[in-house]
């Protein structure tokens, strides 16, 4: 097995949706699903292209009420390219005899390849090959190459190339009752290269509500031996569709090669006059496919040089880990930096969750912070630009500061559904997920971690500090003081679990004193003080004056950091929320026997007329998210500051065991988070959970969700699990700390990190860890491995003994 290729060697119609999501090609500006170029949308295939941040709003009447949703829009299909021989049927892989099949996603080069050897109904033997890319070097361009070899025949081949805007959003079955028409056709026309007279295609559409104009242009030409082929071309257009037909005579044993170059622009792009003009000019001046591919591959090579993580024991695990990094970089690339887009939970790979932004950057930014910090900053800028909307939301709720939405899209309003469809029962049920206020805590956590890793004072002064302080102000206004207990409380919220929306048999949504929320707020109040202390006096005074922040508020935050409520039960188990201990235990074995797959217990119980609110069960980590974000020492410090006993090692493990036994893993994030929290105490068990998390998308373990879009948070989380949890990586007090956990099945681990502007090469083996600093950086770094600290100069390397004997050895770095 190649460690750089995702390969399928059989065509299976039932798996095409999964392959189309996993084999999508993108560049941070747009993503095109990996559907074959010759297919149209049907029950088997779903070709689609999505623009980063390309949203539109539409209304639907459901259950007697008007529902409005903002969706990521399925844009015109630029990659439509098919053929037929001697006026026969257009190629259909299910209508021929397939002798061999291979589909390969080349992760290193960012190219999707398909090869089919087939015999048609007339006995003609042929080999069809395609290559496709979304240019990482030229974000507005995409390329497609089609080769057809005639093994035992000669005849006329008709090639059909189109720009097809006759599309709707139909990629998620449970959304199909909703309004799915988002674009209006504006123009479909051929045009000529003014210098050569070559005919090309142009298509312009506009979204119905957001009035986003999207323009595509395409150039299709025969590029095999021009003396062997005399091509004849014609064009046709209709509303939303432009097509070009090229007819070519092909001889026995010859190979016809056709390339299609397409451009994509939209009306929000910078440095253009108008998207139609820009698209036409781009495709006129576009290089040949081979040159486009060369420049594209060069950019991917540069990204992999920064981002690759190497494990030497398992080719499949290595490949899947790279697949996850690949899709992360296709969603958030250097092309994203100047865009106003957030981190979509499902990538730009499909229509699930409508392309919305949740809290997934919590799992994604750690990878970017250490390698591509400018991209991480652009994701945080997306939040800062929506700070006015968050302030307005808090004001409307009678609160202060900034209340960010659980689901965000174009303008920062709350995009969460009011009702959602349970596909198991067929009923539309209330959706209270918008009270997951912890999304704002994730934003604040990301801001502070970004500053710790990069040391970017400019970012903190410009955006970061204001975000953190306004979020702190919001939670201070959400908090109530209980005079009887002498502690602060937070009521009517949901934690990350998502199964528990309310107390049993009550109509009021929300729970009191969710442990994750309360402890994170305590951390936030402490961190807000650190933020202010990190600013120079002038910037601190300016910001406090701008926010009208006074010493009374700061004193309140300090008091909250010491007196927020955390509930316990069963002698040291942190209660997920107040009253958790009164819930019923769940019959796990009975439901597994009855249903088999019980990941989505909320849907199963609702279909039975019951509710997850009644039971001690979780969809994913809630309390244990604290164990994921903080080390035992850090969490113990927070607890001590709050006036509680620090967590002993025995309590730490008992909490993990308690909640792991009560979790259904109904989210793809679940296995990953639980693997991380078990890395210290049970590394082999953690590795098993890690491999389960790795297979979440590639094996579609949720039974049909991956075809609707990848799970970007889980993908990036598995990468961070290797980077952070198995290495014990942390940043504290300006030093880079490692506390390695070695797993035999992992073998040697190699990765690169960028800390405070300096690049480090890290190699971890069973008995030693080597950290080498690249030359060219002036700043020495402090490295600490299992309590042993060394200052590392540029060009130096240091090797730490992990077996308990011998001191660290310092030398020159072997290579840059």
Q: What is the DSSP string of 731-746?
A: EETTEEEE-----GGG
Output the CA angle 587-589-590, nearest 5 degrees.
65
The answer to the question of whether 619 is labelled as a binding residue is yes
pLDDT level of residue 655 (50, 70, 90 thresholds): very high
Residue 812: per-residue pLDDT: 64
Residue numbers annotated as active site:
498
pLDDT at 313 over 90: no
The answer to the question of whether 164 is labelled as a binding residue is no
pTM for the model stands at 0.96
Inter-residue contact 97 to 118 (CB < 8 Å): yes
> Residue 574's CB: how many other CB atoms inside 10 A?
26
Residue 811: per-residue pLDDT: 64
Average pLDDT, the chain: 96
> Which residues face 128 on adjacent strands?
116, 148
pLDDT tens by residue, 15-62: 999 999 999 999 999 999 999 999 999 999 999 999 999 999 999 998
Closest by CA position to 98, among listed 79, 72, 120, 65 = 120
Stretch (H or E) spanning 515: helix 515-534
pLDDT tens by residue, 343-398: 999 999 999 999 999 999 999 999 999 999 999 999 999 999 999 999 999 999 99
pLDDT at 560 over 50: yes
For residue 539, count CB atoms less than 10 angstroms from its CB and return exposed for 0-12, middle for 13-18, buried for 19 or more: middle
Q: What beta strand segments (E) does 547-660 contain?
A: 568-569, 573-574
pLDDT level of residue 815 (50, 70, 90 thresholds): very low
Inter-residue contact 129 to 113 (CB < 8 Å): yes
Q: CA-CA distance, 310 to 722, in Å (whole number)?
A: 10
Average pLDDT over residues 499-508: 95
Residue 798 to residues 268, 333, 788, 807, Cα–Cα distance (Å): 49, 32, 11, 10
Average pLDDT over residues 475-494: 98
Residue 64: per-residue pLDDT: 82
Residue 363: per-residue pLDDT: 98
Domains and CATH numbers, the chain: 5-305 (2.70.98.40), 736-812 (2.60.420.10)
pLDDT at 813 over 90: no
pLDDT tens by residue, 525-558: 999 999 999 999 999 999 999 999 999 999 999 9
The answer to the question of whether 78 is labelled as a binding residue is no
Torsional class of 679: left (φ above 0), alpha (ψ -120 to 50), beta (otherwise): alpha
> Which residues face 679 on adjacent strands?
none
Residue 816: per-residue pLDDT: 45
> Which residues face 615 on adjacent strands?
584
pLDDT tens by residue, 59-73: 999 878 899 999 999
pLDDT level of residue 94 (50, 70, 90 thresholds): very high
pLDDT tens by residue, 226-247: 545 567 889 999 999 999 999 9
Residue 571: per-residue pLDDT: 87
Residue 706: per-residue pLDDT: 97
123 or 810, which is more confident? 123
pLDDT at 767 over 80: yes
Residue 232: per-residue pLDDT: 83
The answer to the question of whether 640 is labelled as a binding residue is no
Inter-residue contact 544 to 524 (CB < 8 Å): no
């Amino acid at each position: 097995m190649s460690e750089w290729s995702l390969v399928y060697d059989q065509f299976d119609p039932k798996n095409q949706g999964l392959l189309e999501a996993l084999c999508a090609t993108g560049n941070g500006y747009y993503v095109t699903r990996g559907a074959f170029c010759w297919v149209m949308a049907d029950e088997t295939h779903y070709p689609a292209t999505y623009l980063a941040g390309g949203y539109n709003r539409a209304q639907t009447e459901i259950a007697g009420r008007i529902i409005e949703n903002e969706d990521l829009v399925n844009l015109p299909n630029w990659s439509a390219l098919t053929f037929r021989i001697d006026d026969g049927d257009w190629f259909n892989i299910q209508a021929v005899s397939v002798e061999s099949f291979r589909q390969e996603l080349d992760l290193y080069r960012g190219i999707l390849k398909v090869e089919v050897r087939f015999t048609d109904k007339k006995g003609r033997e042929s080999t069809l090959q395609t290559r496709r890319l979304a240019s990482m070097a030229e974000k507005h361009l995409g390329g497609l190459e089609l080769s057809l070899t005639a093994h035992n025949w000669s005849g006329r081949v008709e090639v059909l190339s189109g720009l097809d805007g006759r599309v709707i959003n139909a990629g998620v079955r449970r959304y199909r009752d909703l309004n799915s028409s988002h674009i209006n056709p504006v123009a479909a026309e051929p045009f000529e290269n003014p210098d050569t007279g070559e005919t090309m295609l142009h298509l312009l559409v506009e979204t119905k509500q957001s009035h986003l104009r999207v323009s595509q242009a395409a150039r299709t030409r025969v590029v095999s031996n021009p003396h062997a082929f005399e091509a004849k071309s014609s064009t046709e257009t209709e509303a939303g569709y432009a097509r070009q037909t090229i007819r070519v005579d092909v001889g026995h044993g010859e190979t016809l090669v056709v390339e299609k170059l397409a451009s994509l622009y939209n009306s929000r792009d910078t440095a253009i006059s108008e998207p139609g003009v820009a698209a036409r000019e781009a495709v006129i001046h576009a290089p040949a496919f081979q040159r486009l591919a060369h420049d594209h591959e060069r950019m991917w090579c540069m990204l992999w040089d920064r981002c690759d993580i190497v494990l030497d024991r398992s080719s499949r695990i290595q490949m899947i880990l790279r697949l996850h990094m690949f899709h992360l970089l296709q969603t958030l690339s250097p092309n994203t930096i100047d865009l106003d887009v957030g981190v979509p939970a499902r990538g730009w790979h499909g229509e699930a969750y409508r392309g919305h932004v949740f809290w997934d950057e919590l799992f994604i930014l750690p990878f970017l912070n250490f390698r591509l910090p400018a991209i991480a900053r652009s994701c945080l800028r997306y939040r800062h630009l929506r700070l006015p909307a968050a302030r307005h939301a808090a004001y409307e709720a009678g609160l202060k500061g900034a209340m960010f939405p659980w689901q965000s899209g174009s303008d920062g309003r709350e995009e969460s559904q009011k009702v959602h469809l349970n596909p198991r029962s067929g009923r539309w049920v209330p959706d209270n997920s918008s009270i997951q206020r912890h999304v704002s805590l994730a934003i604040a956590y990301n801001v502070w971690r970004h500053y710790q890793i990069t040391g970017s004072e400019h970012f903190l002064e410009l955006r970061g500090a204001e975000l953190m302080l306004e979020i702190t102000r919001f939670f201070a206004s959400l908090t109530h003081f209980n005079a009887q207990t002498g502690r602060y409380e937070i009521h009517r919220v949901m934690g990350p679990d998502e199964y528990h929306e309310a107390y049993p048999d009550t109509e009021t949504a929300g729970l009191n004193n969710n442990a994750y929320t309360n402890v994170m707020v305590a951390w936030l109040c402490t961190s807000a003080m650190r933020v202010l202390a990190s600013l120079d006096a002038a910037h601190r005074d300016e910001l406090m004056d701008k926010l009208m922040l006074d010493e009374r508020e700061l004193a309140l935050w300090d008091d909250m950091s010491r007196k927020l409520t955390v509930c316990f039960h069963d002698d040291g188990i942190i209660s997920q929320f107040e009253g958790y201990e009164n819930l019923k235990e769940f019959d796990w074995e009975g439901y597994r026997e009855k249903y088999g797959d019980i990941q989505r217990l909320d849907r199963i119980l609702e279909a039975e007329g019951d509710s997850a609110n009644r039971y001690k069960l979780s969809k994913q980590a809630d309390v244990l998210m604290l164990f994921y974000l903080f080390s035992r020492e850090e969490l113990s410090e927070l607890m001590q500051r709050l006036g509680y006993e620090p967590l002993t090692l025995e309590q730490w493990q008992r909490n993990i065991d308690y909640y792991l036994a009560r979790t259904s893993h109904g989210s793809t994030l679940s296995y990953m988070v639980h693997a991380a929290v078990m890395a210290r105490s049970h590394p082999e068990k953690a590795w098993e959970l890690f491999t389960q998390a790795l297979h979440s998308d590639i094996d579609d373990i949720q039974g049909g969700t991956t075809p609707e879009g990848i799970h970007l948070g889980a993908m990036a989380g598995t990468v961070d699990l290797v980077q952070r949890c198995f290495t014990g990586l942390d940043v504290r007090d300006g030093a880079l700390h490692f506390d390695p956990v070695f797993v035999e099945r992992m073998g040697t681990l190699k990765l690169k990190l960028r800390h405070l502007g300096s690049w480090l090469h890290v190699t971890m083996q069973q008995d030693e860890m080597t950290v080498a600093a690249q030359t060219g950086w002036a700043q020495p770094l402090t490295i600490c491995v299992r309590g042993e600290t060394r200052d590392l100069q540029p060009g130096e390397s240091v090797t730490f003994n992990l077996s308990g004997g011998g001191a660290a050895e310092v030398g020159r770095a072997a290579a840059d």
